[in-house]
């Protein structure tokens, strides 16, 4: 643990966030769900999506960019499909609800898929994909996001970080949980380089002419002003390292999230000073028992994942990991020792509650 981190009790942290969301008009049930998803990111070791974002959610709820009391409407439903309009609500509660409904449908139907439209930031995609595992299912979750990605050979943002998550259960091994943005990096990583005034690595971003960007500040400014420049797809610049593949994956996510339910996609998804981007999500579940005995599946997964984990590391590396293993190991450790928060995150969240006299029980 780094010495600028403070460990706090998971349930206390969840309860504290919940009380703040409730104070802002979110129902008890939805506030509890939103807090669970937010804190899970810290527990998994993904602080970019954890309580360090609490102030953003609070600001969104205060300004009405996120609507605390919005009911969600089912606008299309069959035994295999679901389309929900979130009407501008918080992303996590409606997403958990959607994934639960899709899992129930997949139990009866074998597989099921659904979209949530007019939603907001839903946290870590892997959380929803992982929900399917307890029912011996494969889980899928995706979301589009505000446009910041530049197509291969292009220079204007046309899509978001558009993460996709895929989870499959194992037996004794930790589950396989892939949760990845389809851009080479997220905006947050570029912002770190901006703060450090470090030159951007080749293959991360282009400036407004479409040439490789080295200065994070000017790239972020140009992107913000929509004059060109942005982050590259997974695979980087051009086609030599497969940038066109990452670009294709990002568009795939935009089709399944935005186009499939008739919501915004591509350039239409962007934050303004007045409003946050209304994003869409896609969820899916596939029942393993329709293909083979789930116990046998889990044992084969153990073998596959064990072989990867035990495969010889490259010189200078310690260990080969599969997707989800570091996160699940960190979650176990953090549940034992407490959820690690950066000092500045700890200070920020303690400050947020003071406005309403809500005190974080772990405050020192």
In the window 139-158, what residues touch a copy of itself (CB under 8 A)? 151-156, 158
Provide the angle, in degrees to the nearest 10, between the axes of the packed helices 28-44 and 10-23: 140
Question: Pairing mode, if any, of strands 339-342 and 137-143?
Answer: unpaired
CB 128 within 8 A of CB 99: yes
Q: Which of 32, 37, 131, 185 binds a copy of itself (CB under 8 A)?
A: 185
Reduced to 3 states (helix: H, G, I; strand: E, B; else coil), residue 139 is: strand
| Stretch 32-51 residues interacting with a copy of itself (CB under 8 A) | none
Q: Check binding of 180 to a copy of itself (CB under 8 A).
A: yes
Nearer to a copy of itself, 58 or 94 (CB): 94
Reduced to 3 states (helix: H, G, I; strand: E, B; else coil), residue 55 is: helix
| Stretch 64-93 residues interacting with a copy of itself (CB under 8 A) | 76, 78-81, 83
Rounded to an integer, what distance in angstroms lies between the CA atom of residue 32 and that of residue 15? 7
Q: Check binding of 136 to a copy of itself (CB under 8 A).
A: no
Structural tokens at position 212:
């490789």
Q: Check binding of 111 to a copy of itself (CB under 8 A).
A: yes
Least Å distance between CB 223 and a copy of itself?
A: 14
Q: Check binding of 115 to a copy of itself (CB under 8 A).
A: yes
Query: What stretch of H or E contains 142?
Result: strand 137-143
Nearer to a copy of itself, 29 or 296 (CB): 296
* Burial of 234 per CB tally in 10 Å (0-12, 13-18, 19+): buried
Instruction: Give the number of other CB atoms < 10 A from CB of residue 22.
Output: 18
| Stretch 263-322 residues interacting with a copy of itself (CB under 8 A) | 265-267, 286-288, 290-292, 296-297, 300-301, 304, 307-308, 311-322
Least Å distance between CB 232 and a copy of itself?
A: 9
Nearer to a copy of itself, 14 or 222 (CB): 222
Rounded to an integer, what distance in angstroms lies between the CA atom of residue 60 and that of residue 42? 20
Q: Which of 237, 229, 230 is nearest to 209 (CA)?
A: 229
Q: Check binding of 60 to a copy of itself (CB under 8 A).
A: no
Nearer to a copy of itself, 71 or 313 (CB): 313
Q: Which of 109, 136, 218, 348 binds a copy of itself (CB under 8 A)?
A: 109
Least Å distance between CB 162 and a copy of itself?
A: 12
| Stretch 332-351 residues interacting with a copy of itself (CB under 8 A) | none
Reduced to 3 states (helix: H, G, I; strand: E, B; else coil), residue 78 is: strand
Nearer to a copy of itself, 56 or 155 (CB): 155
Contacts of 281 (CB under 8 A, 6+ apart): 91, 95, 98, 115, 116, 119, 122, 128, 141, 142, 143, 257
Question: Pairing mode, if any, of strands 205-206 and 164-168?
Answer: unpaired
Least Å distance between CB 292 and a copy of itself?
A: 5
Interaction pattern, residues 226-265, with a copy of itself; x per rule: CB under 8 A: --x-----xxx---xxx-xxxxxx-xx-xxx--xxxx--x
Judged by CB under 8 A, the number of residues near a copy of itself is: 87
């Amino acid at each position: 643990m780094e010495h600028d981190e403070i460990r706090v009790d998971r349930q206390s942290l969840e309860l504290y966030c919940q009380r703040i969301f409730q104070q802002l008009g979110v129902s008890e049930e939805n506030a509890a769900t939103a807090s669970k998803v937010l804190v899970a990111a810290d527990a998994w070791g993904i602080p970019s999506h954890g309580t360090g974002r609490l102030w953003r959610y609070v600001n969104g709820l205060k300004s009405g960019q996120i609507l605390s009391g919005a009911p969600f409407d089912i606008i299309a439903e069959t035994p295999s499909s679901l389309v929900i309009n979130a009407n501008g609500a918080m992303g996590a509660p409606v997403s958990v609800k959607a994934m639960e409904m899709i899992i129930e449908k997949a139990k009866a139907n074998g597989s099921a898929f659904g979209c949530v439209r007019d939603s907001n930031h839903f946290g870590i995609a892997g959380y929803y994909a992982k929900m399917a595992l307890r029912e011996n299912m494969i889980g899928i979750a995706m979301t589009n996001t505000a446009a910041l990605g530049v197509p291969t050979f292009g220079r204007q943002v046309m899509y978001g970080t558009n993460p996709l998550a895929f989870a499959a259960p194992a037996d004794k091994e930790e589950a396989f949980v892939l949760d990845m943005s389809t851009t080479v990096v997220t905006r947050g990583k570029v912002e770190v380089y901006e703060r450090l005034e470090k030159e951007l690595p080749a293959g991360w971003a282009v400036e407004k002419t479409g040439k490789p960007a080295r200065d994070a500040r000017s790239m972020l400014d140009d992107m913000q002003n929509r004059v060109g420049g942005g982050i590259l797809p997974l695979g980087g610049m051009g086609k030599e390292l497969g940038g066109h593949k990452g670009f294709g994956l990002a568009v795939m996510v935009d089709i399944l999230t935005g186009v499939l339910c008739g919501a915004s996609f591509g350039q239409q998804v962007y934050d303004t000073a007045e409003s946050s981007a209304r994003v869409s999500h896609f969820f899916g579940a596939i029942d393993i028992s329709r293909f083979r005995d789930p116990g046998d599946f889990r044992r084969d997964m153990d073998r596959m994942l064990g072989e990867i984990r035990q495969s010889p590391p490259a010189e200078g590396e310690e260990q080969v990991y599969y997707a989800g293993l570091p996160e699940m190991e960190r979650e176990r450790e953090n549940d034992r020792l407490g959820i690690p928060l950066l000092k500045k995150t700890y200070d920020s969240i303690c400050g947020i509650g003071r406005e309403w006299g809500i005190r974080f029980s772990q405050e020192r």
